[in-house]
């Protein structure tokens, strides 16, 4: 089935999951949504996280996705059941695959879990892990400052080292041999976390098992793309396109310092006309440069133009007939204005 897979996160962390999906299922197209306007989710209430997740799911449905991957541990913990009840496509979360991977990784049955405040408070990892093996000892720790550090691009900064040390120093006393990176942002701090915990502790990134579970599910439901057509990937952010671009540029500078072949930078023009009463603004970011620079991934087909439209997610008026007609299929999701600009 040649329809895209929807992937969403509160910010850029879910790109770690998107990358793994592309690696394991290279023939599939993706539609990625990063809710950068409302990051982080980890400090928000369940009602708020569910509300945001349902809004994004409605948007992804307008892109005709055949499955939705919740590439956010907090949303996986708090909103999965509501999303499953709302949509008629398969929903994959990152928590269950992460728990399975952790249980298979430990040798002494002592597992650590780090995540946002909401994820840790929910106890969802402990619940899944104890269902797999009741004998496991699970030590959990909320690390709320990790997400802002990642969103700011401070992957190997002295500040990051200090924060990681403060959060994880006490966890080493429990002699865990596996540590679940229970937020999709955290693998981007893998180097600092790994040095703090030591070589004896295996860092468990749920992205690998999530992509594997998705592939198995698509195969089971006969939804794999077997058309032979090259995939197209679309990336959306709710705010901070400049920050996304700045983040990509900084990663590109690191790559160029390691390579004699510099990569040509492309500029992106933006034309925004955002009304104050619009609850959420969704920008379709043509992200060829971003993904190539940050993750070294190449060979994708991208559109020639960037389309940006404002979307009224709750009780809005349908101002644009083309977008409005598409959104009428999904109650509570109305179309706004649409503009286009060239790269």
The two tokens of residue 307 are 């389309």
User: Which of 50, 72, 143, 341 is the catalytic position?
Assistant: 72
Q: Which residue has the tokens 């990134």?
A: 205
- The CA angle 36-42-48, to the nearest 5 degrees, is 80
Asked if residues 207 and 20 have their Cβ atoms less than 8 Å apart, the reply is yes
pLDDT tens digits for the chain (343 residues)?
789 999 999 988 888 899 899 999 999 999 998 888 888 999 999 999 999 999 999 999 989 999 999 999 999 999 999 999 999 999 999 999 999 999 999 999 999 999 999 999 999 999 999 999 999 999 999 999 999 998 888 998 999 999 999 999 999 999 999 999 999 999 999 999 999 999 999 999 999 999 999 999 999 999 999 888 889 888 888 877 666 555 544 443 443 433 333 222 322 222 222 222 222 223 334 334 444 444 444 433 322 222 322 232 333 333 333 333 333 232 332 232 222 222 2
Entry pTM? 0.73
Treating both helix axes as pointing N-terminal to C-terminal, what angle do 15-24 and 288-295 enclose, rounded to 10 degrees? 90
The alpha carbon of 192 is separated from its chain's Cα centroid by a whole number of angstroms, namely 20
Asked if residues 29 and 60 have their Cβ atoms less than 8 Å apart, the reply is no
SS (H, E, C) 240-251: CHHHHHHHHHHH
Compute CA distances 52 → 46, 93, 124, 238, 297, whole Å.
10, 16, 20, 11, 29
pLDDT score at 151: 84
pLDDT score at 243: 65
pLDDT score at 129: 97
pLDDT score at 233: 87
pLDDT score at 141: 97
Contacts of 224 (CB under 8 A, 6+ apart): 1, 25, 27, 28, 215, 218
pLDDT score at 115: 96
User: Which of 50, 143, 183, 341 is the catalytic position?
Assistant: 183
- The CA angle 207-86-82, to the nearest 5 degrees, is 60
Q: Cα–Cα distance between 161 and 189 in angstroms, integer?
A: 9
Instruction: Give which of 145, 91, 136, 81 is closest to 110, Cα–Cα.
Output: 136
Q: Cα–Cα distance between 45 and 225 in angstroms, integer?
A: 37
pLDDT score at 247: 53
Q: Cα–Cα distance between 131 and 77 in angstroms, integer?
A: 16
Helix (H) / strand (E) containing 56: helix 46-62
Helix (H) / strand (E) containing 23: helix 15-24
Phi/psi at 84 (nearest 5 deg)? -60, -35
**Catalytic-residue membership of 143:** no
- Domains of the chain are 95-207 (3.40.50.1860), 259-343 (no CATH)
């Amino acid at each position: 089935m040649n329809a895209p897979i929807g992937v969403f996160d509160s910010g850029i962390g879910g790109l770690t999951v998107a990358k793994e999906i592309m690696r394991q299922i290279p023939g599939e197209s993706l539609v990625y949504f990063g809710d950068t306007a409302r990051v982080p989710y980890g400090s928000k209430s369940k009602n708020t996280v569910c509300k945001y997740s349902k809004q994004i799911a409605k948007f992804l449905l307008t892109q005709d996705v055949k499955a939705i991957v919740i590439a956010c541990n907090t949303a996986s913990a708090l909103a999965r059941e509501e999303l499953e009840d709302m949509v008629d496509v398969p929903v994959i979360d990152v928590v269950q695959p992460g728990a399975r991977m952790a249980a298979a990784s430990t040798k002494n049955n002592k597992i650590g879990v780090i995540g946002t405040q909401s994820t840790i408070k929910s106890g969802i990892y402990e619940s899944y892990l104890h269902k797999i093996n009741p004998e496991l000892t699970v030590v959990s720790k909320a690390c709320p400052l990790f997400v802002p550090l990642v969103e700011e691009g401070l992957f190997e900064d002295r500040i990051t080292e200090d924060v990681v040390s403060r959060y994880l120093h006490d966890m080493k006393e429990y002699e865990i041999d596996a540590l679940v990176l229970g937020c999709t942002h955290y693998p981007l701090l893998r180097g600092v976390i790994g040095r703090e915990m030591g070589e004896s502790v295996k860092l468990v990134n749920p992205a690998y098992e999530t992509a594997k579970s998705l592939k198995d599910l698509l195969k089971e439901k006969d939804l794999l793309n077997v058309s032979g057509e090259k995939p197209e990937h679309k990336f959306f952010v709710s705010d901070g396109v400049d920050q996304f671009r700045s983040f990509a540029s900084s990663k590109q500078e690191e790559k160029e310092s390691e390579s004699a072949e510099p990569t040509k930078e492309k500029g992106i023009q933006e034309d925004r006309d955002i009304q104050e009463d619009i609850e959420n603004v969704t920008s379709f970011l043509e992200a060829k440069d971003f993904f190539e620079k940050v993750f070294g991934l190449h060979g994708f087909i991208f559109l020639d133009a960037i389309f940006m439209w404002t979307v009224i997610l709750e009780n809005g008026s349908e101002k644009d007939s083309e977008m409005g007609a598409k959104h009428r299929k999904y109650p509570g999701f109305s179309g706004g204005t649409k503009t286009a600009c060239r790269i």
